[in-house]
Chains A and B, each alone.
Chain A
Amino acid sequence: MSILYFIAIPLLASFLTLFFKNYLRYISVAINAILLVLAYFIIENLPITENLSFDSPLAISFVLTKGSAFFMTLFIGISFLFSLYNITQNSRRDIFILTNMLLIGVIGLVLSGDIFNIYIFFEISSITAYILTSLNRDAKAYNGAIKYMIIGSIASIFLLIAIITIYLNIGTLNLITIGERFGYMGANTQFLVLLSLFIGFGIKTEIFPLNFWAVDIYQATSSKINTLFSSILSKAYIFVFFHIAYLWNVDSKYLLFTAMIGVISFGIAEVSSLTSKDTKRVFAYSTLGQLGVLFIGFSYNNITIMTGAIFLVFMHSITKLMLFLSLDILEQRFGQSSIEIFKQFKSPFLIIIFIIGFLSLLGLPPFGGFIAKLTILSGLAGVGAYIMMGAILVISLVEAVYLFRLLSYTKDTQPKVKISIPLLQKAILASIAFAIIYFGIFPNALLDISQQVASSIIGGVHV
């Protein structure tokens, strides 16, 4: 039982899809289910390191720690729900191959133990993301894909600059060895490496001065694809970025910088969302805001705050999955995505789903988002970052304005279009909503897991 199965099985399945053109949707569900079962069995023996060919520091290594395992399971789970959702839709066939490849890219990112492998999987997931953006094959989609590619190439250039500088000065690519020798580089070189890494990953994690492209991309694709971007892709990049940062024991000023960037990103995203007129853009701004909060959460070297951040990763991923899938139903029915469609649909089930999703995004009890926010805020007060805590509360109030406005639109008295949703999709949305309420009322199991993940990330050396 090797952790390479997680990359090999979906890759093999992608190649074999040539032969099973009509059963793609079921194969997709099956592959994700197999991976989930594998993940369940492998969790007992953490941490695991797989070296290919020789031993480190010269070999290519894949490492499974508690942190990587959590994120990997989360991504496989979301992909499973997504492929289950797609069984009844008549989507294009490419979506199955592409979600598979995206999963490979993301699992590889999370599992890889040396920095060039990270670059490879970074590129794999980026390319898949570019193609996913253009899936609709209309002008908007190609527009978005081209713009995404330009910005993504700039990100790769910066990541490559970082890798080149590291190898020239340290001479190895293995993450742990780099971490041991990182402090012996000159201060200027360290600064250049960290800055390039920040820019390279920051562009893909959609953080403040580097995220002006993100909202257009969310608008360009259909809401279903936005699920993958918002729930899987950005979380993977955040994890890798901070995992590297803690593994290399970076300067605390760097983490302070990322916290500041996080709170500015949160503020600017939420304020911009107030006057936006397109639902996909509104949800995109909300995602950017929550990624800012995650940046804040990951930037403090404190178990409580990191636990809250991991909890928020889980909660936000499933909430955005639910919200974007519901938005997809509306978008397919109305053909457009302006906020007026919230005034025109009549479906009590969807309204309840939106209510649960929005209240959890805001962090109101009794939903899961509240526990995440409470843990982060208690941790911030515990370390004395009162201004950050106050800023998060005030900006959440701004977030409340537009989310509740969308909810009031559903009570508008225009003539309404009735929407019927197939049973499988209703079941998936309802189970996610139930999970949000369940983890809001009984959070202890998940908090425990989050704490273990948090201590594994902060611990640095592979635990």
Chain B
Amino acid sequence: MLDSFNQTPFLHSVITIGSFLILLIGLVGALSKKNLFKIFLSLAIAESSLFIYFIGMHFSIGKIAPIVTNKVTEFSNDMVDPIPQAMILTTIVIGIAVLSLALSFIISYYKLTGKMRIDDMNELGEDK
């Protein structure tokens, strides 16, 4: 029975459903949490769901990593597509940069006003 779990379509469906759930968790967290840190954390979670989906959907059972070693001496069709992996690496780095920028903004804002919750942030708006 466990062999049926080792099939590519099943793997893809698990990854699809799983990443969709994580995306949902991330988005729901971003839109309903009130603490600023938690909002950005949720957004990071939502982004990572996309990474999982992308990499996971390019993987099929039986493929190996696209690295030439002593045993695997040439590129062949057994290898996973390397482009998504490069793309996602870049995107992860961008995500880290954005997240750290956000954290520094939150810390500076807290030092200026002492507020950490998003519904306390009231300096902008039509009536100011």
Contacts and interface: CB of A to CB of B under 8 A. Distances in A.
Interface in B77-107: 83-84, 87, 90-91, 94, 97-98, 101-102, 105-106
Contact of A142 (B30, B98, B112): B112
Interface stretch (A41-49, A81-89, A148-156, A288-296): A148-156
Contacts of B1: none
B25 interface: no
Given A164-B54, A168-B57, A146 B121 contact: yes
Given A140-B123, A142-B109, A157-B47, A149 B101 contact: yes
Contacts of B57: 168
Interface stretch (A131-139, A252-260, A305-313, A452-460): A131-139
A435 interface: no
A157 B97 CA distance: 15
A144 B124 contact: yes
A149 B50 contact: no
A164 B50 CA distance: 8
Interface string A141-173: 011111101100110110011011001100001
A219 interface: yes
B53 interface: yes
A402 interface: no
Contact of B108 (A142, A161, A168, A281): A142
A276 interface: yes
Contacts of A168: 54, 57-58
Given A123-B94, A157-B47, A164-B53, A146 B106 contact: yes
A15 B10 CA distance: 49
Interface string B110-128: 0011000000010111111
Contacts of A75: none
A160 B83 contact: no
Contact of B98 (A116, A127, A144): A127
A416 interface: no
Nearest to B39: A150
Contacts of B97: 127
A173 B83 contact: yes
B85 to A, nearest CB: 12
A154 B27 CA distance: 9
Contact of B43 (A126, A143, A144, A153): A153
A300 interface: no
B123 A143 contact: yes
Contacts of A50: none
A149 B118 CA distance: 13
Given A164-B53, A173-B83, A276-B126, A120 B94 contact: yes
The binding surface of chain A is classed by DSSP as helix
B83 A149 contact: no
Contacts of B94: 120, 123
A125 to B, nearest CB: 12
A220 interface: yes
Nearest to A123: B94
Contacts of A163: 87
A54 to B, nearest CB: 13
A122 to B, nearest CB: 10
A178 to B, nearest CB: 14
A418 interface: no
A157 B50 contact: yes
A220 B43 contact: no
Given A277-B126, A281-B126, A143 B121 contact: yes
B125 A216 contact: yes
Interface string B48-60: 0010011001100
A160 B97 CA distance: 16
Nearest to A116: B87
Given A123-B94, A134-B105, A139-B113, A160 B50 contact: yes
Contacts of A276: 126
Nearest to A58: B83
Contacts of B47: 153, 156-157, 160
Contact of A161 (B50, B113, B125, B127): B50
Given A139-B109, A142-B105, A145-B105, A220 B124 contact: yes
A140 B98 contact: no
Nearest to A171: B81
B112 A138 contact: yes
14 contacts: A126-B98, A127-B101, A130-B105, A139-B109, A142-B105, A142-B112, A145-B105, A146-B102, A149-B105, A160-B47, A160-B91, A168-B54, A220-B123, A277-B127
Q: Which 9 A-B pairs have the closest CB atoms?
A: A142-B109, A216-B124, A140-B123, A153-B43, A164-B54, A139-B112, A123-B94, A139-B113, A143-B123
Interface of A: 116, 119-120, 123, 126-127, 130-131, 134, 137-140, 142-147, 149-150, 153-154, 156-157, 160-161, 163-164, 167-168, 173, 216, 219-220, 276-278, 281
Interface of B: 23, 30, 36, 39-40, 43, 46-47, 50, 53-54, 57-58, 83-84, 87, 90-91, 94, 97-98, 101-102, 105-106, 108-109, 112-113, 121, 123-128
